[in-house]
Amino acid sequence: AYKRFSELLPKEQRENACSLRVPKSQILTLPELRANPFQHRICRVFSTSEDGDDSMSFEDFLDMLNVFSDSATSDVKSHYAFRIFDFDEDGTLDRGDLEKLVNCLTGQGEEARLSGAEMEQLIHNILEESDIDKDGTINLAEFQHVISRSPDFASSFKIVL
């Protein structure tokens, strides 16, 4: 992990990798993130940057790898998945978050985009299945309940270096 992190820095800075931050633009060059539709959200969630630039320290990088490792528990993985999918960072998955989530999963091209009616039906179905307290949003507990019924979630929510 340290080798991969330090390789994201210019050669002259690699000796000090533990005390430096790697810019988001460099983190996104990792093949493991390059094709991930949630790459920007992943950087946002794991970055501890006070500048809001989503840069990562080595510790941030290790946290990310830990969550996406095979050894992370389903609870830890689902907690971070929830944070990644909570685009507006308000602690719930509302209709806006769900629409962005679907668009990330289906692709951004016009041919891949769902029609307004299709999107509305899909969001309705998601909320019908997941929104236990019927408040129009999915909270962390509701999300974890749904994830607990998906046996392949933990094995698919990973990054292997």
pLDDT value of residue 88: 98
* pLDDT score of 154 more than 70: yes
pLDDT value of residue 160: 77
pLDDT tens for each residue of 90-137: 999 999 999 999 999 887 666 778 899 999 999 999 999 999 999 999
Least confident of 48-52, 73-77, 109-113, 141-145: 109-113
Cβ atoms 106, 115 nearer than 8 A: no
Categorize the per-residue pLDDT at 51 as very low, low, confident or very high, splitting at 50, 70 and 90: very high
Categorize the per-residue pLDDT at 78 as very low, low, confident or very high, splitting at 50, 70 and 90: very high
Q: Domains in the chain and their CATH numbers? A: 1-68 (1.10.238.10), 74-157 (1.10.238.10)
Percentage of the chain modeled with pLDDT above 90: 86
pLDDT tens for each residue of 18-29: 999 999 999 999
pLDDT value of residue 161: 75
Dist CA 101 CA 58 (whole Å): 28
Cβ atoms 31, 95 nearer than 8 A: no
Phi, psi of 22 (to 5 degrees): -95, 130
| Rg, the chain, Cα only | 17
